[in-house]
Amino acid sequence: MTKLLKTYGIGALTLLVFSLFGCNSDTEDILQEPDLTIVTDDYLISQAFEDLDNITLTALDNSGLGARMTKDISISEICETAIATLDETGKIITIDFGAGCTSSNGIARKGKIILSYSGNLIFPGAKVVATFNGYFVNGKKIENGKITWPDNTFVTLASDQIRSVKLGNDGYDASITGSASGISRDGVNYNTLVIDPLIVKQSCVASGVSVPGAGKLQFQYGGVEVTVDYGDGSCDKLVTITYPGGSKEVTLD
C-alpha cells in the first residue's frame, strides 16, 4: 500500500512539472511587437536631410557644379518663389525660402539654407557644408543633426555614413552605407547600421518620396534588433519591418 502511494505521488508531481513547462513554452512563443516609433522618428529625420540633399544638388547642378558658376541660380523646381544667390568670392550659395514657400509636391519651407563649398565641385574631394538660419520644413525646425517639432519634442542624429552620388540625365542616384546613432522623441537611444546599401533617387525625392527605394537598415535599441527592408527599387513608401517574433509592412509618411 505504501509503495502504491509513493508511485502515485511521483506520477502526479511529474504531470505537474510537465504542465508548468508547457505553459512557459507557450508564453515564450508569444513575443510582443517592439515599439517601432523609433523607426518612424529616424525616417523623419532622414527625410528632412534627403530633402536637403535634393535642394543642395539642384542648386549646385543649376549653377554648373562649380565649373561655370553663375549668379543667377534657378531653383524654381524646388519652390517657385525661393531665391538662390551666389557669393563666388566667398564660395557660398544662399537659398532663401522667405517667410514661407510651398513646393508643387506640397512641402512647405521657410528660412534659409547656406551652402559653403570648397572649390570646383565636379572634382573628387570637393566639400559642401550646409548650415541653417531659421529653416523649417512642414513646421519642423531643421538644425544640423537635429529636428524639433512644434511641441518642442526633438530627434537627434549623429551620422558616420558615406553617400556616393552618381549624376545622370535623370538626376542623381545616391548609395548610402555606414552607421548612425540617435535619440528618439521619447528619449530612447538607438543605433543603426546599413547592411545593404540604401538607394535614393532624386526623381523619387522630387516627387515627395524620400524613402530609399532599396536596401536594408538595421536598428538596435533597448536590447531589440529590428531590420527595415526598403524593397527592390520601387519609388514608394512601403517597407517591411522584421523584429523578434514577426514582421509587418508599414507605409512611412
The dihedrals phi and psi of 215, each to the nearest 5 degrees, come to: 110, 170
Q: What is the pLDDT of residue 171?
A: 75
| Average of per-residue pLDDT across 164-182 | 85
Task: Give 180 or 3, the one with higher predicted confidence.
Answer: 180
Q: Which span out of 12-16, 101-105, 165-169, 194-198 was modeled with the highest average pLDDT?
A: 194-198
Statement: residue 22 has pLDDT above 60: no
Per-residue pLDDT tens over the stretch 187-215: 999 999 999 999 999 888 888 888 999 99
Assign 49 a pLDDT band (cuts: 50, 70, 90).
confident
Q: What is the pLDDT of residue 168?
A: 73
In angstroms, rounded to a whole number, what is the distance separating the alpha carbons of residues 93 and 66?
11
| Average of per-residue pLDDT across 89-114 | 89
Statement: residue 147 has pLDDT above 80: yes
In angstroms, rounded to a whole number, what is the distance separating the alpha carbons of residues 195 and 218?
7
Distances from the Cα of 111 to the Cαs of 29, 90, 137, 212, 236, in angstroms?
52, 21, 9, 26, 29
Least confident of 121-125, 160-164, 179-183, 226-230: 121-125
Q: What is the pLDDT of residue 66?
A: 44
- In the block, which residue shows the cell 528660412? 111
Q: What is the pLDDT of residue 181?
A: 95
The dihedrals phi and psi of 57, each to the nearest 5 degrees, come to: -70, -30
